[in-house]
Amino acid sequence: MPLLRPRLVRDPLIVLLIALLLGACGGGGAGDGDGDGDGDGAPVDAALPEGWQSLLEGDWNLAPGEEGYFCVYATVPRDIDIKAFRPLIPSGTHHTVLTVYDGASPADGTVRCGVGSNGQSMIYGSGVGSPDFAFPSGVGLRLTAGTRLLLNLHLYNSTDEPMTGRSGTLFQEAAPGEVQHLAELVLAGPTVGLRVPTGTTTQSGTCRISSITDEPIQVFALSQHMHKLGRNLRSVVTRGSETIVLQDVPYDFEEQSFQLVNPFVELRPGDVLTTHCTYENTAATNPPSGAPVTFGESSDDEMCFTDLFYFPAQGANFICSF
């Protein structure tokens, strides 16, 4: 049973899932951008930087002004322990979401899809400007042979010309025995009830951390996800009469990354995590009138998530919203 037992959200706008994710200590996101748009999803091994391997990649093409989604399906060929990720996010890539997928079809390759095409368990993702993400020593992910992966690409061509590219995920493999703690990722905050009125306001939502066991989780990295109107994100844990501030940071939509937490923060069953998001919704930031904005997948909509990377993995759903 999952330690984090978030409400399973089936609305496609939520399962859209934000990639707000990832990046941590240093490094820059790499982008190939030379995809031929044929949708075969084949990796370009010759272009791989030293020490990195391709997990999966997909070619895509967009018409002028088009926004849409492509899904890359792949089957893990062997057991792999992962200690670092690097996103391939060429121009036009709004975000990527990598999940474990239980279905037998579609076949491996790249197809057009929608925002709700995701597996249940999220293992990585990237947003605008995401750098490399390296797990702390002893922490990582384990993929077994035959596991199916699904990479959902949210793409947007804001130009007047056709655009093609190749987006995906690279990884660094851990040595045998190097990964001792298996991690997973959960996004905590308000979803369909989020509404950002005109002006400068703070909206919030909660995630209850509960379990049938007494086992705590260890949070080793945090990130933030809002869209263009976001200005600050504050994450607070309530434990009885005790208050723990996980983060209270300015937000920049163009620089989305994970920050490692040292020492790790222990969250326990019964804790309540509240995410507070501050927005600036004016005629200048949201022309022409600064009209109210609601939750949604587009950059012109809004979101409000604390992104938690923790161990041990519990098989939790990737959205926690109450």
- The helix/strand/coil state of 197 is coil
DSSP state of 302: B
Q: How many CB atoms lie within 10 A of CB 249?
A: 13
pTM for the full model?
Answer: 0.76
Q: What is the DSSP string of 103-154?
A: ---SPSEEEEE-TT---SEEEEEE-TT---EEPPTTEEEEE-TT-EEEEEEE
Which CATH architecture describes the domain 45-182? Sandwich (2.60)
Query: Are 167 and 54 contacting, i.e. CB atoms less than 8 angstroms apart?
Result: no
- How many residues does this entry show for the chain? 322
Question: Is residue 120 classed as helix, strand or coil in its secondary structure?
Answer: coil
* pLDDT at residue number 128: 72
The pLDDT assigned to 214 comes to 55
- CA-CA-CA-CA dihedral for 145, 112, 195, 254, to nearest 10: 80
| Residue 254: predicted pLDDT | 78
pLDDT tens-place values along the chain, 322 residues long:
233 333 323 333 333 333 333 333 222 333 333 333 333 333 344 468 899 999 999 999 999 999 999 999 999 999 999 999 999 999 998 888 899 999 888 999 999 998 889 887 788 888 777 889 999 999 999 999 999 999 999 999 989 999 999 999 999 999 999 999 999 888 899 999 999 999 999 999 999 887 424 589 999 999 999 999 999 999 999 999 999 999 999 999 877 778 899 999 999 999 999 999 999 999 999 999 999 999 987 778 999 999 999 999 887 777 888 7
Helical (H) or strand (E) element with 61 = strand 53-62
DSSP category for residue 239: E
Instruction: Indicate the domain borders of the chain.
Output: 45-182, 184-320
What is the CATH architecture of 184-320?
Answer: Sandwich (2.60)
Domain 45-182 and domain 184-320, same fold? Reply is yes
| Tokens read off for 114 | 């929608």
Q: How far apart are CA 148 and CA 277, in angstroms?
A: 35
Query: Cα(19)–Cα(40) distance, rounded to whole angstroms?
Result: 23
| pLDDT value of position 300 | 86
Q: Environment class of residue 214 by beta-carbon count within 10 Å: exposed (0-12), middle (13-18) or buried (19+)? A: exposed
Q: From CA 85, how far away is CA 131, in angstroms rounded? A: 9
78 contacts: CB under 8 Å, gap ≥ 6: 145
